[in-house]
Amino acid sequence: MSEFPKPKFNIGDNACIIDYESQNNTPIVCTDCNGTGHHKKSSVIICDNCGGIGKLRQYHRQYKTGELLTVGGVFFEEHNHTFQYCLYDVGMRGGYWELIHARYDESRVFSTVEEAQKECDRLNSEKLNY
Ligand SMILES: [Zn+2]
C-alpha cells in the first residue's frame, strides 16, 4: 500500500493564493481563415479554427495575489492525487471567520505573499492566451 501523500498546508496555516481575472476578451480576427470563416482552400468548407465565425475570443489572464489568508480546509483529489485548499480571511468579520475563497490547487497556494508574488510575475510574463 502506498503512503498517503502529505499536504503542503494544514488547517490554520497562513497562506497566500494566486487568483486571476480575464482581460482583453475582445474578439480577434481568426488567423487561419483571415476572418472569412472558410477553409483557406475551399469556400464550402468551414474553418476548423473558428468554427466558421471568422473571429476568435482572446482571453488574457492577469494573475494577482492578495494578503495572507488562513487555510480553512484541505481537499484531496483522488483522480490526480493533488491537494486543494479553501481559505479564510485572516481577520474576523462580524465575529465570524469569513470563507472568501473556495478550493485552490496546491500550485496556486503559497506560504508567503512574496513567494506568491514571484509566481504571479512569472505567470504574467508568460502572457498566456486562450
Ligand atoms: Zn477561422
**What percentage of the chain exceeds 90 in pLDDT?**
48
Map grid coordinates 485548499 to a residue: 85
pLDDT surpassing 80 at residue 27 = yes
pLDDT surpassing 90 at residue 13 = yes
Q: 0.75 exceeded by the pTM? A: no
Distance 31 CA to ligand 1 centre (A): 6
Distance 43 CA to ligand 1 centre (A): 12
What CA–CA distance (Å, rounded) separates 119 from 6? 22
Distances (CA, A) of 128 to 18, 51, 92, 118: 15, 22, 36, 16
Distance 129 CA to ligand 1 centre (A): 17
What CA–CA distance (Å, rounded) separates 104 from 15? 11
CB 33 within 8 A of CB 47: yes
Q: Residue 130 has what pLDDT?
A: 42
DSSP 5: P
Distance 27 CA to ligand 1 centre (A): 12
What CA–CA distance (Å, rounded) separates 68 from 123? 19
Distance 9 CA to ligand 1 centre (A): 45
Q: Residue 2 has what pLDDT?
A: 63
Q: Residue 92 has what pLDDT?
A: 56
In angstroms, what is the C-alpha Rg of the chain? Answer: 21
SS3 of 121, please?
helix
Distance 34 CA to ligand 1 centre (A): 6
Distance 47 CA to ligand 1 centre (A): 5
CATH for 1-23+62-130, among 2.30.30, 3.40.50, 1.20.950, 2.40.360?
A: 2.30.30
Q: Would you kindly state where each structural domain of the chain is located, as residue ranges?
A: 1-23+62-130, 25-58
Summarised one tens digit per residue, pLDDT across range 29-81 is 999 999 999 998 888 999 999 999 999 887 778 899 988 888 989 999 888 88
